[in-house]
Amino acid sequence: MDLTLQPPPVRQLETGSTLTVRPGRSNAHVHGLEELALEAAPRANAHHTVVPTLERMRVEELFISYGQKQAVRSVSLPVRQGEVLALIGPSGCGKTTLLRSLNRLTELTKSARLSGLITLDGVDITELEPTALRRRVTMVFQQPNPFPMSVFDNVAYVLREQANRKPRRQSLAPLVEEALSRAGLLDEVKDNLTHPALRLSGGQQQRLCIARALAANPEVLLLDEPCSALDPQSTKVIEDLIVKLREEVAVVIVTHNLQQAQRIADHVAFMYLGELVEYAPTQAMFGNPKEARTQEYVSGAFG
Amino acid sequence: MTRRRAVESSASWSLGDRAGLAFAWFLGLLFCAICAGIVLYLLFQGIRYLSPHLLWTNPKVGNNQNETGGFLAPMIGTVLVTSIAMALATPIGVGVAVWLSEYARPRWLAQVVESTVEMFAGAPSIVLALFGVILFRASFMGFLTERTGGVVYGKGFFPAGAMLSLLALPLVVTSVREGLQAVPNHVREASYALGKTKIATIRRVLLPAVRPDIITGSMIGAGHAIGDTAIIVFLLGDTYVLQGAGGIPLLGTLRGTGSTLTSYVFDNAPTGDLNQPNKAFAAALVLLVMVLIINVLVDVFGRKTRELKWT
């Protein structure tokens, strides 16, 4: 079938070849949806390889408010595996709220009210257990936040049932190493897996957080400004990683950095005052935006 | 040419400001002098009277200070009663701190709990001791101490340790709560975002994160509990040696009575019943050294573990 005919990804990674790509992971449980959702979307960026996309999540007519404040109004968009979706917009435009609603983290805020529909592989996410949903739609935060335990245990944390310490090291080692290797961190830490994770550098910590989020084998990876606390070198490493990951997971990234969106995103959603102003392929968004407000924002007139 | 220092000189200040600065210096030095005076005097007196055999002989009845033995039993008593206090105060304090920091609903209850903790922190220990005397004489508390012919004695290591734990509790709660509040919220959310429940997050992320604060809090609490006298005099029985109740080895000792270094000093001070100042000074020195060791441990431990934190 079509999937197997796609050429292998050829994007070169300047930072070394430590990243290993996992072969396309189980899409088996969505076979029914395949015909509808599978499409070879035209790439926006010339340097991107063509990757087949598969719709994993869909947001429809989403409204979110905190008390009197309307944070997100009437937003609809698809989240596809095989592409990076960047959410951009000025501070307070609702992009982080939208991101957090995708794995129901908004529910942690007492005053948050949500209406509309979000689906994951065709299922309304409010019908899923939050804990189960969050293992399928994991998140990486702005500040690197490894847990106060060893590098190994940070990744193993998600593989263990709730507060259990079991299964023990040995049975988890292959899975932990796989996740670290997908996050491009394994070579740097494989000799000190038992060291405290908080001793790693900022960039390493953030990749550990990505490894942690990948260990659950999620369908969707949410990134909330993952590079804003990092130096340019670490940012570069993580950006390359994100582009690589989009082949296996749907990636949604909130970013303040327009260049970053331009570099790594396939689709960009521009939000302003809670509304989705424009959703378009990256090239169209930055080269030829339809809306005047998008034009102003991407040209730096406000933000 | 001399380089100008970045610190401004007080030569340009007004007279009032300069007098204030001088006064601040004076107070600081005075404080150091008072502290040094107490420690040095105790050290001097203590070393003069402290001979090693005092550390491993029990107190006994005698006609003069050469015959009355040492204070082995009070030392053991101090360690025992403080251990009981911390064994109670640490888990309860951590629980209270976690509830206050992570749950605290309904809000009125949180405020009540908070005021209660503050009240314990400010309560004179003799009030707690008096309350303990009433409480532990109640017949349903009889299993903790000796009971003869239906009368509950109400004095022993368990009652004393339990009331001392109330002294240490606020210090544990405060320390652990501060530790929890220093954990950024995004760390909790990172755990929830991996599909973990709140309780799993508390056990696997938050409690390990505040382990240094738990240890610091309980050491400060122990330092506070170790020096209390009122509760010991009222509730430990203040007997020369450990007098067990019942035949079971450790349990019997803990149900029984004894004394601590504080009650030993209290009895042997020039104002006390026994009036053996030499013994009092020697025991006071040992107590002071114990407290200093705890303080140094808190300090060293605190410095060592603070380095690993989130930004």
Number of domains in chain A: 1
Superfamily name with CATH number, domain B50-305: MetI-like (1.10.3720.10)
What residues of chain B lie within 8 A of the CB of A139, using their CB?
Answer: 189-190, 193
A241-260 pLDDT, tens digit each: 999 999 899 999 999 999 99
Are the beta carbons of B287 and B226 closer than 8 angstroms? yes
Candidate from A134, A143, A209 with C-beta closest to B311: A143
Inter-chain residue contact A132 with B195, CB threshold 8 Å: yes
What residues of chain B lie within 8 A of the CB of A157, using their CB?
Answer: 191, 194, 196, 204
Interface residue B106 vs chain A (CB under 8 A): no
Give the per-residue pLDDT at B243: 79
Helices (H), B50-197: 53-56, 72-98, 107-122, 125-137, 157-181, 185-192
ipTM surpasses cut 0.90: no
For position A94, which CATH number holds? 3.40.50.300
Give one DSSP letter per residue of A168-213, joined into a string: -HHHHHHHHHHHHHHTT-HHHHTT-TTSBGGGS-HHHHHHHHHHHH
Candidate from A132, A147, A229 with C-beta closest to B311: A229
What residues of chain A lie within 8 A of the CB of B182, using their CB?
Answer: none
B43-57 average pLDDT score: 85
What range defines the domain where residue A110 resides?
Answer: 54-142+212-294
User: Which pLDDT band, with edges at 50, 70 and 90, does B152 fall under?
Assistant: confident
Tokens found for residue B208 = 């390990």
Q: In this structure, is residue A300 part of a structural domain?
A: no
Give the per-residue pLDDT at A14: 40
Q: Minimal CA–CA distance to B146: which of B229, B259, B237?
A: B237
Q: Is residue B177 over pLDDT 80?
A: yes
Inter-chain residue contact A135 with B189, CB threshold 8 Å: no
Are the beta carbons of B270 and B284 closer than 8 angstroms? no
Give the per-residue pLDDT at A36: 40
Q: Is residue B164 over pLDDT 90?
A: yes
Q: Which of B194, B198, B210 to mutate to test the interface with A (most CBs of A within 10 A)?
A: B194
B103-145 pLDDT, tens digit each: 998 999 999 999 999 999 989 999 999 999 999 988 888 788 8
What residues of chain B lie within 8 A of the CB of A134, using their CB?
Answer: 192-195
Q: Is residue B183 over pLDDT 90?
A: yes
Q: Using the CB atoms, write b or e for A254-282: b if 16+ within 10 Å.
A: bbbbbebbbbbbbbbbbbbebbbbbbbbb
Regions in chain A scoring below 70 on pLDDT? 1-50, 303
Interface residue A139 vs chain B (CB under 8 A): yes
What residues of chain B lie within 8 A of the CB of A229, using their CB?
Answer: 311
Q: What are the structural domain ranges in chain B?
A: 50-305
Interface residue B209 vs chain A (CB under 8 A): yes
Calculate what percentage of chain B has a pLDDT beyond 70: 96
Calculate what percentage of chain B has a pLDDT beyond 90: 54
Give the per-residue pLDDT at B64: 77
Q: In this structure, is residue A151 part of a structural domain?
A: no
What is the pLDDT of chain B when averaged over all its residues?
88
Tokens found for residue B70 = 């040492």
What residues of chain B lie within 8 A of the CB of A145, using their CB?
Answer: 184, 186-187, 190, 310
Interface residue B53 vs chain A (CB under 8 A): no
- Classify burial at A297, counting beta carbons within 10 Å of its beta carbon; exposed 0-12, middle 13-18, buried 19 or more: buried
Interface residue A284 vs chain B (CB under 8 A): no
